[in-house]
């Protein structure tokens, strides 16, 4: 007879109480630590065997820019306020309460109920399912958490996921793969691992739940059903510990900012990273690579298209048909330093591709193997993985000597030639051999316990190399793969997408999912990376969407070896020039948004409901989102359309920046989406958008400060502000601020600048929407009135 595998549930009791922590012990080996970290952040660390099994944390870094080696101790409360809390134990129930959260634990069997302050009372956030919520050594030794799933509950976040924004009804795997040519509507898993949920209940009240686990995780949000347990959702990890951070709302924007803060301060990138970034596999794979690269620069000049960076694909490292990181192919690039300087003279910074795997015949492989710097098994034999052209091995960046070697190569092979950035690619660390070990800073562990950590440490080492090489300039790191906390070090993109109309739509949703998960500085391969060459209409629609993403790069490896370039369809050049010029115009706005992201943890791209949670129409999962607070973007991502539709949030009126038409909040609108025109966008009435009015983008000396004004429509005075700095270093910054008042006949602005003027000249041009003929004045300043591209404008000089 088969014996039962379930035993009696453990009975817990309060064993100790310390600053920020309550420890519960059981009549088995199980221990639970409840950490009261902030009024709105409470953490549960549940240890069925009584001690921490998993590695230190690298995701949690409250407000910090880095985590120190060997990672954050799981018992640490560093960086948290640890406020006072109420602790009551009555009749076998423990209650832990802050001003915003209440955790009720049934001690017999350990059942948790989480609530948050809502109005004058408490509202349920999350409750364990009534039966067998955790694995207390009953089943297979994995980490398991089963939670009741109320009707109408929706789930957002989880980083970079395919499909719609609401993940309800799906089962998703958190493991890092290289799914080249993925289907943006359905493929799973993808490149990044962020086991974080932003949960909205049927009344749109929100909270956050983050599982700080680096092993492979499966999140089931209602695909699985079991008659004996009611409706539930689950998180199951292959190893580690159940380390759960609960974040109270009820406001979704506050929860998003808090989770971003929890996982660290976003890196502030240089301004040149905000312009158009060229890229393609084809140029550097060609035998005449340097000539092809020069042709790109010449074509930019010929077609009057601005570009501030170029992502240099891995063909520059080739020996024969294969790629060897940190090697320069001197046949293709005889003088790397001159090549770098030539691009910089054209106003373009190079972003070179580097990969963490070394093929067996790499010139440095034997050196790395002998020094023990590669991922290996217990006897030191390097673990072989399939990587591009043949088998190879990954460098182990959990070994300090490995990270030091990596930093040295970044400096010697790239930075010493004048390069100021690194493109960390193919860093999913697909190590599937169970014998493989990571050094883990002198305490070796199975690689399966933390594969995504290597991706994070690659970014960290690459960024540190840049800081060590030139500490006066902001580093720029971009990474394809990663985990929670990647935003502390790098910008990212959604990997090698497939050329398809639906990719525009679902890549946009991926970007929103990343932003809700703390990672706002992201974008997509515009035009599609893998598959067919994009036809003219698809390509132009993709560029219309791309110029309104934080990261804007046209990249490709098309099946027919064609190249996605702004001039690939001559008949589209007038429209393409308008779109590329729009990106240059908006660089100050993107700079301000990313500064707010760095300073205040404000997400950049955001679903409408993040700013308008009480508007039921804002929760519709359509093709509309916000760029910052003030620009409403409507994607045209269907073939053959000439218009797009949207329901506008009722709490504000909206102004068309291209026509000046005012649209009432709450209205269902149809907007023109001409293929040859600018993207369908509306600006919030009362907002002010900083812009560059010059045609030369962010090239040195080519800048004209402007401010698009969208006067308030409902009688109130609107406040505005934006940030400005030199875009390179960490020095002084200015904040421009003011108000805007409007009557039927006049628009009056107040203006002030805090700071000493660190960028540009002392002038600013303020512009009304097209067709707005009202008198425009700035209090306290003599205004020079004129017209700029059909808009009424005034220019002032700041005292």
What pLDDT digit, counting tens, does each position of 426-439 carry?
A: 999 999 999 999 99
pLDDT at 799: 76
**What is the band of 608 on the pLDDT scale with cuts at 50, 70, 90?**
very high
What pLDDT digit, counting tens, does each position of 290-303 carry?
A: 999 999 999 999 99
Residue 238: DSSP 8-state: S
Q: Angle between the 451-469 and 400-413 helix axes, to the nearest 10 degrees?
A: 50
pLDDT at 700: 59
Q: Considering the chain, what is the average pLDDT of its residues?
A: 96
- Give the Cβ contact number of residue 524 at 10 Å: 27
| Chain centroid offset of residue 347 CA | 26
Helices (H) and strands (E) in the chain, counts: 11, 51
Residue 585 near residue 275 (C-beta atoms within 8 A): no
Tokens found for residue 82: 């640890």
Angle among Cα 69, 551, 262 to the nearest 5 degrees reads 35
**What is the band of 1 on the pLDDT scale with cuts at 50, 70, 90?**
very low
**What is the band of 138 on the pLDDT scale with cuts at 50, 70, 90?**
confident
pLDDT at 137: 86
- The helix/strand/coil state of 259 is helix
| β-bridge pairing 681-684 and 733-742 | unpaired
For the chain, percent of residues with pLDDT exceeding 90: 95
What pLDDT digit, counting tens, does each position of 78-92 carry?
A: 999 999 999 999 999
pLDDT reading at 684 higher than 70? yes
- Give the Cβ contact number of residue 706 at 10 Å: 23
Closest CA to 133 of 6, 248, 13, 42: 6
pLDDT reading at 358 higher than 90? yes
pLDDT at 8: 78
pLDDT reading at 701 higher than 50? yes
R_g of the chain computed on alpha carbons: 27
Where is 258: in which H helix or E strand?
helix 252-262
Query: Under 8 Å CB-to-CB from 204, ≥6 apart: which residues?
Result: 609, 613, 614, 619
pLDDT at 697: 53
What is the 3-class SS of 680-711, one letter each residue? CEEEECCCEEEEECCCCCCCCCCCCEEEEECC
Sign of CA dihedral 408, 412, 414, 416: positive
Residue 572 near residue 662 (C-beta atoms within 8 A): no
Sign of CA dihedral 607, 608, 613, 618: negative
**What is the band of 4 on the pLDDT scale with cuts at 50, 70, 90?**
very low
Q: C-alpha distances in angstroms, 774 versus 689, 746, 748, 794?
A: 19, 5, 10, 12
Q: What is the mean pLDDT of residues 662-678?
A: 97
Q: In what order do the strands lie in the sheet with 217-220?
A: 143-148, 232-237, 217-220, 171-174
- Give the Cβ contact number of residue 407 at 10 Å: 22
Residue 307 near residue 300 (C-beta atoms within 8 A): yes
**What is the band of 388 on the pLDDT scale with cuts at 50, 70, 90?**
confident
Determine the Cα–Cα distance for residues 14 and 25; give it in Å rounded to an integer: 6
Query: Under 8 Å CB-to-CB from 630, ≥6 apart: which residues?
Result: 683, 684, 687, 689, 710
Respond yes or no on whether the N-terminal peptide bond of residue 675 is cis (omega within 30° of 0): no
Residue 168 near residue 155 (C-beta atoms within 8 A): yes
pLDDT reading at 3 higher than 50? no
pLDDT at 731: 82
What pLDDT digit, counting tens, does each position of 246-285 carry?
A: 999 999 999 999 999 999 999 999 999 999 999 999 999 9
pLDDT reading at 692 higher than 80? yes
pLDDT at 415: 98
Q: C-alpha distances in angstroms, 322 versus 259, 336, 353, 657?
A: 41, 19, 14, 49
**What is the band of 716 on the pLDDT scale with cuts at 50, 70, 90?**
confident
pLDDT at 2: 37
Q: What single string gives the DSSP state of each residue in 311-375?
A: EE-GGGGEETTEE-TT---TTT-S-HHHHHHHHHHTT-EEEEEE-SEEETT-TTHHHHHHTT-B-
Closest CA to 211 of 100, 59, 432: 59
Residues 456, 457, 463, 464, Cα dihedral to 10° = 150
Determine the Cα–Cα distance for residues 529 and 537; give it in Å rounded to an integer: 16
What pLDDT digit, counting tens, does each position of 28-50 carry?
A: 999 999 999 999 999 999 999 99
Q: Read off φ and ψ for residue 608, nearest 5 degrees.
A: -55, -35
- Give the Cβ contact number of residue 235 at 10 Å: 22
Query: Under 8 Å CB-to-CB from 225, ≥6 apart: which residues?
Result: 231
Angle among Cα 98, 101, 106 to the nearest 5 degrees reads 100
pLDDT reading at 696 higher than 70? no
pLDDT at 432: 96
Residue with token string 């890092």: 176
**What is the band of 403 on the pLDDT scale with cuts at 50, 70, 90?**
very high
Residue 797 near residue 705 (C-beta atoms within 8 A): no
Burial class (CB in 10 A: 0-12, 13-18, 19+), 185: middle
């Amino acid at each position: 007879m088969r014996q039962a595998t379930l035993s009696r549930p453990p009975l817990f009791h309060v064993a100790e109480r310390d600053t920020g922590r309550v420890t519960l012990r059981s009549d088995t080996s199980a221990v639970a630590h409840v950490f009261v970290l902030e009024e709105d952040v409470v953490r549960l660390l549940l240890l069925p065997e009584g001690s921490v099994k998993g590695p230190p944390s690298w995701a949690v870094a409250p407000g910090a820019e880095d985590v120190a080696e060997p990672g954050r101790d799981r018992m640490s409360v560093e960086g948290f306020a640890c406020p006072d809390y109420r602790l009551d134990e009555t009749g076998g129930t423990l209650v832990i309460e802050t001003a915003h959260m209440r955790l009720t634990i049934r001690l017999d069997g350990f059942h948790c109920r989480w609530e948050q302050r809502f109005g004058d009372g408490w509202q349920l956030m999350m409750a364990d399912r009534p039966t067998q919520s955790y694995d207390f050594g009953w089943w297979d030794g994995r980490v398991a958490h089963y939670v009741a799933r109320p009707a109408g509950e929706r789930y957002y976040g989880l980083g970079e996921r395919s499909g719609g924004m609401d993940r309800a009804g799906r089962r998703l795997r958190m493991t890092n793969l290289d799914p080249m040519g993925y289907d943006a509507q359905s493929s799973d898993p993808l490149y990044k691992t962020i086991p974080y949920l932003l949960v909205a209940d049927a009344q749109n009240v929100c909270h956050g739940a983050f599982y700080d686990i680096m092993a492979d995780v499966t999140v089931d949000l209602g695909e699985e059903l079991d008659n004996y347990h009611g409706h539930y959702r689950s998180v199951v990890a292959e190893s580690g510990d159940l380390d759960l951070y609960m974040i109270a709302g009820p406001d979704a924007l506050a929860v998003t900012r808090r989770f971003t803060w929890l996982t660290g301060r976003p890196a502030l990138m240089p301004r040149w990273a905000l312009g158009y970034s060229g890229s393609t596999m084809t140029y550097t794979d060609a035998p005449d690579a340097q000539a092809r690269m020069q042709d790109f620069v010449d074509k930019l000049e010929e077609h009057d298209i601005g570009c501030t960076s170029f992502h240099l694909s891995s063909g520059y490292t080739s020996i024969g048909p294969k790629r060897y990181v940190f090697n320069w192919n001197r046949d293709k690039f005889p003088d790397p330093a001159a090549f770098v300087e030539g691009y910089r003279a054209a106003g373009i910074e190079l972003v070179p591709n580097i990969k963490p795997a070394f093929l067996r015949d790499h010139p440095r492989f034997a050196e790395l193997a002998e020094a023990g710097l590669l991922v290996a098994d217990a006897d030191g034999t390097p673990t072989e993985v399939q990587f591009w052209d043949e088998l190879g091995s990954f460098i182990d960046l959990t070994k300090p000597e490995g990270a030091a070697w990596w930093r040295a190569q970044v400096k010697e092979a790239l930075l010493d030639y004048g390069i100021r950035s690194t493109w960390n690619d193919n860093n999913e660390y697909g190590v599937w051999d169970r014998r493989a070990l990571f050094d883990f800073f002198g305490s070796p562990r199975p690689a399966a316990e933390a594969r995504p950590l290597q991706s994070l440490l690659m970014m960290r080492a690459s960024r540190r190399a840049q800081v060590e090489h030139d500490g006066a300039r902001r580093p720029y790191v971009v990474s394809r793969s990663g985990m929670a906390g990647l935003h502390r070090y790098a910008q990212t993109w959604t990997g090698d997408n497939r050329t398809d109309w639906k990719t525009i739509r679902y890549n946009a949703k991926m970007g929103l999912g990343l932003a809700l998960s703390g990672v706002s500085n992201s974008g997509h391969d515009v035009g599609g990376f893998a598959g067919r060459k994009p036809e003219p209409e698809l390509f132009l629609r993709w560029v219309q969407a791309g110029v309104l993403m934080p990261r804007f790069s046209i990249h490709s490896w098309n099946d027919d070896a064609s190249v996605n370039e702004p001039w690939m369809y001559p008949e589209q050049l007038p429209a393409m020039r308008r779109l590329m010029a729009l990106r240059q115009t908006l660089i100050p706005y993107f700079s301000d948004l990313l500064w707010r992201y760095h300073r205040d943890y404000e997400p950049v791209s955001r679903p409408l409901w993040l700013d308008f949670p009480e508007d039921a129409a804002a929760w519709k999962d359509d093709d509309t989102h916000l760029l910052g607070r003030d620009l409403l973007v409507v994607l045209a991502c269907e073939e053959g359309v000439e218009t797009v539709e949207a329901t506008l949030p009722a709490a504000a009126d909206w102004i068309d920046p291209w026509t000046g038409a005012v649209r009432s909040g709450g209205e269902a609108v149809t907007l023109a989406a001409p293929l040859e025109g600018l993207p369908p966008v509306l600006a919030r009435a009362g907002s002010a958008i900083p812009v560059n009015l010059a045609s030369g983008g962010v090239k040195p000396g080519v800048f004209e400060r402007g401010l698009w004004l969208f006067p308030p429509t409902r009688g109130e005075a609107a406040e505005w502000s934006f940030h400005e700095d030199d875009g390179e270093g960490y020095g002084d910054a200015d904040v421009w601020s003011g108000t805007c008042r409007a009557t039927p006949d006049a628009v009056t602005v107040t203006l002030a600048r805090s700071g000493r003027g660190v960028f540009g000249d002392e002038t600013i041009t303020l512009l009304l929407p097209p067709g707005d003929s009202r008198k425009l004045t700035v209090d306290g300043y003599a205004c020079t009135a004129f017209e700029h591209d059909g808009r009424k404008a005034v220019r002032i000089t700041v005292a």
